[in-house]
Amino acid sequence: MKTIAVLGTLDTKGEEHGYVAEIIRSRGHQTLLIDVGSLEEAKVKPDITREEVALAGGVDLEALRVRQDRGESVAAMAGAAGVLLAQLVESKRIDGVISLGGGGGTAIGTAAMRALPIGFPKVMVSTLAAGNVAPYVGTKDIVMFPSIVDVSGLNRLSRVLLARAAGAICGMVEIEVPEAVEKPLIVASMFGNTTAGVNAAKKVLEEAGYEVLVFAATGTGGRIMESLIESGMVDGVLDFTTTEWADELVGGVLGAGPTRLEAAGKMGVPAIVVPGCLDMVNFGERSSVPSKFDGRTFYQHNAQVTLMRTNAEECAELGRIMAEKVNAYTGPVTVLLPTKAISVISAVGGAFHDPVADKALFTAIKKYLRADIPIMEMDVEINDEIFAKACAEALLANIGNFAEAE
């Protein structure tokens, strides 16, 4: 039997949270009803009151009641709920959490869930789940469950959907997670256009006794990889696909923020860095591309993804940025350049083949890179097995040098 936290604004969504708790208990689990409302009285009796939540987060609940500012209340209770949930997880009082809500409830519930470790079961039933959920999920594994109808009472549709969501969190806490095999850890960045190269390098690293976690370079993936590096769990970084910086610079949809490429430097983790897929900026469907880019070179990856070729000016700036980020690394780092192609489609005959832009990228990297940082130029394409093996071997050498230095 597990204990599942049912967290929500029990003043406005009490009936719905009570229903979900009832379904969970019918599965043989215990529930812990947590009230994060702040304005009206709770509609169902909580196990942890809003006063207790507020106390955990140092929130002046009485002041919130007096001011009656909904935005302020949501922000305050979101922070307090995260503190409380983290304490409950740390003390092993709960095994999972589920929450229901509209805009305010989703903001509170997901903020609290983002305070919890990756792997801990988290389900958010939300009116916002069909849209852009990145601000709510962040870098955590929150399952966003569409409510379809508003979370406003129980009806023939909401009863079904809330019951399914309750079943989902029950299944998540019931499943036995296999024990992890403890091996030293390497993280790698990958895109569809660099899959073959990363997989080839991964094979070499695994044969050397490492576990390799691969992150999709889709903005969120890069941010998660950076946060994992900062956690201190990582022994090496295979940053094969730095494409998120193209989106960050030019204005695509898959940027990972201005701190991408910084975590390895801060932590002194051995690394290799490759300008993988810096030839492309990502947009949605073709009609979503801003008109200011009319006349540029595009490639329709699929109906939902349009790629735009970076030009020579952008590539020169990307080379400068990449070099300056790597210059801050304190651990062993090597930069590798596949001069024939930095993606599948930038090879000779490919839609993004542009030797002038590629030369601008490589020239800038070499111009701005710190003189003592090794740089390897190879006259091959990025997915060539020879290049992948060189990346893996360079990383293993850096890890070895780091171990010797310690």
C-alpha–C-alpha distance, residues 340 and 385, integer Å = 13
The reply to whether the predicted model has a pTM over 0.75 is yes
* Residue of 196, 285, 189 lying closest to 240 (CA atoms): 189
**Is residue 121, in this structure, part of any structural domain at all?**
yes
For the cut 80, the answer to whether the pLDDT of residue 180 exceeds it is no
**How many CA atoms are closer than 13 Å to the CA of 37, on its beta-carbon side?**
22
Q: 10 Å Cβ neighbour count for 361?
A: 27
pLDDT tens profile 134-167: 899 988 999 999 999 999 899 999 999 999 999 9
Contact criterion met (CB below 8 Å) for 320 and 361: no
Q: Are residues 212 and 156 both part of a single domain? A: no
Share of the chain above pLDDT 90, in %: 88
**Is residue 150, in this structure, part of any structural domain at all?**
yes
C-alpha–C-alpha distance, residues 231 and 235, integer Å = 11
Q: Are residues 317 and 261 both part of a single domain? A: yes
pLDDT reported for residue 64 = 82
For the cut 90, the answer to whether the pLDDT of residue 255 exceeds it is yes
**Is residue 180, in this structure, part of any structural domain at all?**
no
Q: Are residues 313 and 252 both part of a single domain? A: yes
What CA dihedral angle connects 256, 262, 268 and 271, to 10 degrees?
60
Last residue of a domain, one of 119, 149, 174: 174
pLDDT reported for residue 73 = 86
Residue with token string 């990307």: 318
pLDDT tens profile 210-253: 999 999 999 999 999 999 999 899 999 999 999 999 999 999 99
pLDDT reported for residue 5 = 98
C-alpha–C-alpha distance, residues 142 and 130, integer Å = 14
Q: What is the mean pLDDT of residues 118-138?
A: 92
Beta strands in 168-297 (DSSP E): 185-190, 211-216, 236-239, 271-273, 280-283
pLDDT reported for residue 406 = 66
* Residue of 229, 238, 239 lying closest to 206 (CA atoms): 238
Last residue of a domain, one of 119, 154, 174: 174
Query: If pLDDT is split at 50, 70 and 90, which confidence band does 67 have?
Result: confident
Q: Are residues 26 and 163 both part of a single domain? A: yes
- 3-state SS string over 282-323? EECCHHHCCHHHCCCCEEEEECCEEEEECCHHHHHHHHHHHH
Q: Are residues 298 and 372 both part of a single domain? A: yes
Structure tokens at 178: 């296999």
C-alpha–C-alpha distance, residues 87 and 405, integer Å = 38
Q: Are residues 38 and 138 both part of a single domain? A: yes
pLDDT reported for residue 270 = 98
pLDDT reported for residue 132 = 85
C-alpha–C-alpha distance, residues 226 and 214, integer Å = 12
Q: Are residues 168 and 206 both part of a single domain? A: no
> In Å, how far are 58, 87, 187, 291, 311 from 183, measured between CA atoms?
40, 29, 12, 49, 42
Last residue of a domain, one of 149, 174, 199: 174
CATH number at residue 40: 3.40.50.12020
Query: If pLDDT is split at 50, 70 and 90, which confidence band does 8 have?
Result: very high
* 155 SS3 class: coil
Q: What is the mean pLDDT of residues 277-301?
A: 96
Residue with token string 């029990």: 10
pLDDT reported for residue 265 = 96
C-alpha–C-alpha distance, residues 322 and 88, integer Å = 41
**Is residue 179, in this structure, part of any structural domain at all?**
no
- For residue 177, what is the DSSP state? P
Q: Are residues 40 and 61 both part of a single domain? A: yes
Q: What is the mean pLDDT of residues 259-273?
A: 97
pLDDT reported for residue 131 = 85
- For residue 103, what is the DSSP state? H
Q: Are residues 302 and 195 both part of a single domain? A: yes
Query: If pLDDT is split at 50, 70 and 90, which confidence band does 201 have?
Result: very high
Structure tokens at 189: 């960045």
Number of domains in the chain: 2
Residue 325: enclosing H or E segment and its boundaries? helix 312-327
Query: If pLDDT is split at 50, 70 and 90, which confidence band does 69 have?
Result: confident
pLDDT reported for residue 403 = 74
**Is residue 199, in this structure, part of any structural domain at all?**
yes
Q: Are residues 259 and 165 both part of a single domain? A: no
Residue at 93: amino acid letter: R
**Is residue 353, in this structure, part of any structural domain at all?**
yes
**Is residue 286, in this structure, part of any structural domain at all?**
yes
Q: Are residues 77 and 137 both part of a single domain? A: yes
**Is residue 277, in this structure, part of any structural domain at all?**
yes
C-alpha–C-alpha distance, residues 325 and 335, integer Å = 12
Q: Are residues 105 and 9 both part of a single domain? A: yes
pLDDT reported for residue 160 = 96
For the cut 80, the answer to whether the pLDDT of residue 405 exceeds it is no
CATH number at residue 229: 3.40.50.12030
Domain enclosing residue 367, as ranges: 185-405
Q: 10 Å Cβ neighbour count for 63?
A: 12
Q: How are beta strands 96-101 and 3-8 bridged, if at all? A: parallel
pLDDT tens profile 298-355: 999 988 999 999 999 999 999 999 999 999 999 999 999 999 999 999 999 999 999 9
